[in-house]
Amino acid sequence: MKIIKSKLTILSLFLVFLQGCSGYHVNKRTNPFVGYGIKHITIPMFYNRSNIAGVSAPFTKEFSSVISTFPDIRVTAGNHKDADAVMIGVIDSSQYIQDTVVNTSTLFLSGDLKDSIGNRNPFYVATNSSYDLSLRVMIIRRPTKQEIELVSGDLGSFIKKNSKIVFDETYKLTGSVQRVLEPSQTSDTGGVVNFTRNLEVFKKSVRSLAVSTANSFREVVLNAF
């Protein structure tokens, strides 16, 4: 009888313990690189080696923001000689722009839109396009200036992970944009492509891609370190 009561007491205590832990979650929000002696990471502007201008700034910003969410780690912009590590980002693309940006749908400027093109023969204008880039992200412990130039240059793709490179991951970047065709205007009729609005549409697409890629980086770091 005493044995049964003892077992029931242990079971009750175990159940109480489980109830006390039911709201507990493992806190992964710690410095994932502390094991490598990294408490200060500096992040210069990502290198843009693609044939599309202006795509590096959003990715630099979002990756800096993600690193900043980890406690006990200092993040600075630019190059700091006293930093424990440097995050290098290299955005690349195919050699030719027609392989990087592909028109997925077009509109033939004829009929109601013919007046928009004046005396020219009718032609197709792109209404939707997709683009493909890649981003390689590396975290390197105390690299020299020459090493940074090497990994961000033409020979960077041949450099493999080593004792100084604690993180090395390449992300495929695929986005799409829907081009804006303006309605009737004072001097032109419908079918005029608005460059300013299309540029903003593209920038918005890149910013969204930067956010999702930075979040993917965060998940990889949390699971791998």
Q: How many domains does the chain have?
A: 1
State the DSSP string of 131-172: EEEEEEEEEEES--HHHHHHHTSTTGGGPPP-SSEEEEEEEE
Q: What local confidence, expressed as pLDDT, does residue 20 receive?
A: 37
4 belongs to a structural domain: no
Q: Is residue 10 part of a domain?
A: no
Instruction: Tell me whether residue 20 is in a domain.
Output: no
Long-range contacts of 69-73 (CB under 8 A, 24+ apart): 69/29, 69/218, 70/29, 70/30, 70/31, 70/32, 71/29, 71/30, 71/31, 72/30, 72/31, 72/34, 72/39, 73/31, 73/33, 73/34, 73/38, 73/39, 73/40, 73/41
In a domain, 189, yes or no: yes
Look at the block and give the residue holding tokens 């175990």: 14
pLDDT tens per residue across all 225 residues of the chain: 544 445 444 444 433 333 333 332 333 557 899 999 999 999 999 999 999 999 999 999 999 999 999 989 999 998 888 999 999 999 999 999 889 988 877 666 665 555 655 566 665 666 788 999 999 999 999 999 999 999 999 888 888 778 899 999 999 999 988 765 555 444 444 445 554 567 788 899 999 999 999 999 999 998 888
Q: Is 218 helix (H, G, I), strand (E, B) or coil?
A: helix
What is the rounded CA–CA span in Å between residue 86 and residue 78? 9
Q: What range defines the domain where residue 56 resides?
A: 34-224
Q: In this predicted structure, what is the pLDDT of residue 101? A: 87
Inside any domain, residue 166: yes
Question: For residue 5, is it within any domain?
Answer: no
pTM of the model: 0.74
pLDDT for the residue numbered 77: 93
Looking up residue 82, the CATH number of its domain turns out to be: 3.30.160.150
